[in-house]
Structures are given as structure tokens and as C-alpha cells.
Amino acid sequence: MHVFVTGATGWVGSAVVQELIDAGHQVTGLARSDDKAAALAGTGAKVIRGTLDDLDVLHQAASAADAVIHTAFNHDFSRFVENAEQDRHVIETLGSALQGSERPLLVTSGLLGLTRGASELEVPSPASPRKSETAARALVERGVRVATVRLAPSVHGLGDHGFVPILIRLARETGVSAYLGDGSHCWSGVHRLDAARVYRLALEQGVTQSVYHAVADEAVPFKDIALAIGRGLGLPVESREREHFGWFAHMAGANMAVSSQYTRALLGWTPSSSPGLLADLELPGYYHAD
């Protein structure tokens, strides 16, 4: 299968590219700079230069592929509304290139807007700021074979530069590893290599469902994450008010914990790349990656 991948040099996308290539698929990836293009070419993938604003480039690349995986998203949180709108345009463009065919599209989203313990069948709140899944559902009505991979808020592993490293940086800056309230609200976690296998397995099985949950640790109490960070940095662990977390307070206080039992059974997916988020946070190298 020839798969076009956006975000092909990113934290998740690069793992997806390698997973596909190792399984014998051909990959074309989007790269926005010379160094990222060289790194992508080194994996054996073909390279298309461009950005998420190059809609004509994206449409052409998707039109030439047997399947498309969209993992790219601009994580500049100061422009989140604009970036969510950009993401919607990209998904619409990729979908229009596949419309009228059976070629599948996998898009990426998160767990915000879902209730704790939600299954793959639950639809996120319309108030959820990211619109990836809404855009995907609109394509279904146009006959596009599309599904959403919902990623855990912590896609962990050495080299992580996602939400947990934000907490690590905040702990270093403030001298305390903090949690909101009693810290009983939970995040989910998944190792990046396990997440990559969800994308591959979903493609190979024909994208038969509308949603997949790339979630290994289904419910990790936020206080336990703070305790692990405190141990890793040798800092006290304390409850703090929302002001302590600044712009990140909405995420730090959110319940982002769902079930992945249906995805596991459907895909035959058993997370195996790591003993779990908390175990990864006990590794000294994790604190060199932020």
C-alpha cells in the first residue's frame, strides 16, 4: 500500500512512517524544511516538500496515494483557534482528493470533550476546541472512508516533547510538581510506538470503524503523574490552584481518560512497547527530553 503521511517527521508521524515501512508499505511524507526532508528520506520514504497551508500540494499527494494518514497539527497554543481552522481545511482537502473512491483517510484527534471512561462510540462535546473529528464526520456524509484516531494526552517515550514535558518545565520553573484539586482526575497514556501500530492496523483492516482509541494506560491519576515528576526532579509535590498552571490549566485539570477495549479487540492490538506512562517517568533520560 502507498500511504501519504502528513506530520511525517513529528513525534507521532515519524513513528507511523517507520511502522508502515517496516511492514512493507510504501510511504510518501510531507516535510517543510531541508533538514526534516533529509531525515525523512533517510527512513526510505519519499518526500514531498510543503506545509499545511499548501492545499494544492496536499490534494495532489493524497490523490496519488492508496491511503492517507493525517498526523500533523500546529501546536502553537497561542494560535489554537487559527490552527484548528487550518486543520479543518487540511482534512477537507485530503477528503476531497479521496472522495468517490474506497481509499481510506485516518485523521488524528485527542480526548478533550469526552466523558471519563468513554468508548469509541461516544461523540465529543461540540465545545471541544479541536475540530479534527468534526471535519472527519462531515466527510463521512460525502462518502469518504474516514476515521479518527484519538490519541491519549500523553504519547510518551524518551524524546517526548508533548504535554508531560510541559509539566516538567513548569515544575522546574516553579520549584514544585503540582496537581489541581486532589489530583484524582485522570489522563490516559500510550507509548508512541504502540500508537503507531494503531494507525497501521486500522489501515490494513480497511478502516471499518469511525473511531479508534490509541490508549494503553486508560486512567492514570494526575496526582500520580505529578508524584513521578517530583521524584524525577527531586522536587516537592503539592496541590495548587489553576493560576499556577497558567494557560495549561484547562489541560492540567481535565479528565482525559477513556476505554480502548473495543479498539484492542477489533484490531488485535496489545500495547507492548512500554510498561506504561508512570514507568517511563521513572527513567532519568525522560528529564533530558523537555
Q: How far is CA 260 from CA 104, 150, 180, in A?
A: 21, 10, 26
pLDDT digits (tens, 9 = 90+) for 189-229: 999 999 999 999 999 999 999 999 999 999 999 999 999 99
Return the closest-CA partner of residue 120 out of 215, 39, 255.
215
Whether residue 72 sits in one domain with residue 199:
yes
Whether residue 166 sits in one domain with residue 92:
no
Q: pTM here?
A: 0.96
Query: What is the pLDDT, as a whole number, of residue 290?
Result: 46
Whether residue 194 sits in one domain with residue 169:
no
Whether residue 254 sits in one domain with residue 195:
no
Q: Average pLDDT, stretch 118-137?
A: 89
Query: What is the pLDDT, as a whole number, of residue 76?
Result: 75
DSSP-assigned letters across all residues of 97-127: HHTTS---EEEEE-STTS-TTB-TTPPPPTT
Report the distance separating Cα 41 and Cα 106, nearest Å.
22
Range of the structural domain that residue 114 is part of: 2-152+190-215
Whether residue 7 sits in one domain with residue 148:
yes
Query: What is the pLDDT, as a whole number, of residue 130?
Result: 83
Whether residue 137 sits in one domain with residue 83:
yes
